[in-house]
Structure 1
Amino acid sequence: MSGGFSRPAWRLLLLAVFAMFALSGCGSLLWGPQQAPIVEATIMPVEPASAPVAASEPEPVETETAGPEQPRKPKKPVVKPHKVEPPPPVAAPAPPPPPPPPLIVLRTIERNDARALLDSEVQKPDGKVVGRAVDMTTDALGKPREIVVNLQGFLGVGDRKVIFPWGAFRFTPTAKSAPITLNPTAAPTPVAKASPVQLPLIDTTVERSNGGKVGRVIDVLIDANAQPQAVVLDVNGMVSTERRTIAANWSALRFVTKDKELHPLLDLSDAQINATPPYASDKPIRAVSPAPPPAPPAAASAAPAAAASAATAIAVSNARAAR
Structure 2
Amino acid sequence: MMAALFALAALSGCSSLLWGTQQAPIVEATVMPVEPASAPVAASAPQPVETEANEGPEEPKKPKKPVVKPHKVEPPPPVAVPAPPPPPPPPLIVLRTIERSDARALLDSPVQKPDGKVVGRAVDMTADAAGKPREMIVNLQGFLGVGDRKVNFPWGAFRFTPTAKGAPITLNPTAVPSTANKSNPLELPLLDATVERANGAKVGRVIDVLIDGNAQPQAIVLDVGDLVSTDRRTIAANWSALRFVTRDKELHPQIDLSDAQINATPLYASDKPIRAVSPAPPAAPAASAAPAASAPSAASTAVAVSNARAVR
Give the TM interval when normalised to the shorter protein: 0.5 to 0.7
1:204-215 alignment to 2 at 5 Å?
204-215=193-204
Could you report, residue by residue, the CA deviation over 1:262-312 in whole angstroms, capped at 9, with x for unpaired residues?
000001000100000000000000000000000113x2x449x99xxxxxx
The yes-or-no answer on 1:118 pairing with 2:107 is: yes
Q: Which residue of 1 aligns with 2:187?
A: 198
Larger relative contact order (C-alpha < 8 A, sep ≥ 6)? 1
Please state how far the C-alpha of 1:189 moved relative to its aligned partner.
3.5
Instruction: Give the structure 2 partner of residue 127 of structure 1.
Output: 116
Q: CA offset at residue 96 of structure 1? A: 3.3
Deviations along 1:1-37, whole A, 9 cap, x unmatched?
xxxxxxxxxxxxxxxxxxxxxxxxxxxxxxxxxxxxx
Cα distance 1:140–1:239, how it changes in 2: closer, same or farther (>3 A)? farther
Sort the Cα spacing of 1:225 and 1:75 in 2 relative to 1 into closer, same or farther, 3 A: farther
Matched, 1:97 2:99: no
Q: Is the 8 A contact 2:127 2:135 kept in 1?
A: yes
Corresponding residue for 1:291?
Answer: 280
Distance 1:101 1:263, change over 3 A: same
Flag structure 2 segments of 5+ consecutive residues without an equivalent.
1-61, 66-80, 293-312
Question: Are the equivalent residues in 2 in contact too, given 1:162–1:190 (CA < 8 A)?
Answer: no
- After superposition, the C-alpha distances for 1:84-111 in whole angstroms (9 at most, x for unaligned) are xxxxxxxx98653211011111000000
Q: Which runs of 4+ in 1 moved over 3 A?
A: 73-76, 92-96, 238-241
Task: Identify the residue that residue 277 of structure 1 maps to in structure 2.
Answer: 266
Q: Report if the CA contact (8 A) 1:213-1:238 is conserved.
A: no
CA contact (8 A) 2:151 2:181 kept: no
Q: For 1:127-150, what per-residue CA distance to the aligned partner results, in whole angstroms no more than 9, with x for missing partners? A: 111000000000000000000000
> Aligned residue for 1:167?
156
Question: 1:144 aligned to 128, 133, 156, which one?
Answer: 133
Shift of 1:162: 0.2
The amino acid across from 1:135 in the alignment is D
Contact 1:215 / 1:238 at 8 angstroms: preserved in 2?
A: no
Aligned partner letter, 1:188: P
Kindly indicate whether the alpha-carbon contact (under 8 Å) linking 2:154 and 2:178 is maintained by their aligned counterparts in 1.
no
Per the normalisation by structure 1, the TM-score is 0.63
Match of 1:182 among 168, 171, 174: 171
SS of the equivalent of 2:175 reads: coil
User: One-letter code of the match for 2:259?
Assistant: D
Give the distance between the partners of 1:215 and 1:274, measured in 2 at CA. Answer: 13
CA 239–212 in structure 1, closer or farther in 2 if over 3 Å, else same: farther
Asked if 2 retains the 8 angstrom alpha-carbon contact of 1:214 and 1:238, the reply is: no
Q: Matches of 1:272 and 1:145 in 2, distance apart?
A: 30
Q: Distance in 1 between matches of 2:203 and 2:101?
A: 28
Contact 2:203 2:257 in 1 (8 A): yes
Higher helix share: 1
DSSP 3-state at the match of 1:248: strand
Distance in 1, matches of 2:95 and 2:111, equals 31
Structure 2 residue aligned with 1:266: 255
One-letter identity of the residue aligned with 2:131: G
Question: CA–CA distance in 2 between the matches of 1:126 and 1:199?
Answer: 32
**Closer, same or farther: CA 155–102 of 1 in aligned 2, 3 Å:** same
Give the Å deviation of 1:191: 6.6
What is the TM-score of this pair, normalised by structure 2?
A: 0.65
Structure 1 residues not aligned, in runs of 5+: 1-72, 77-91, 307-323
1:75 & 1:169 partners in 2: Cα distance?
Answer: 104
Secondary structure, aligned partner of 1:189: coil
Say what the alpha-carbon RMSD is for the aligned residues.
2.5
* Residues 211, 217 of structure 2: 8 Å contact kept: yes
Partner of 2:211: 222
The number of equivalent residue pairs is 217
| Partner of residue 155, structure 1 | 144
Structure 1 position 197, deviation (Å)? 1.0
C-alpha deviation, 1:239, in angstroms: 9.6
Give the letter aligned to residue 291 of structure 1: A
Structure-2 change in CA distance of 1:96 and 1:193 (3 Å): same
| DSSP 3-state at the match of 1:278 | coil
Q: CA deviation at 1:211?
A: 0.5
Match for 2:247: what amino acid? K
Q: Tell me if the contact between 1:161 and 1:191 (Cα under 8 Å) persists in the aligned partners.
A: no
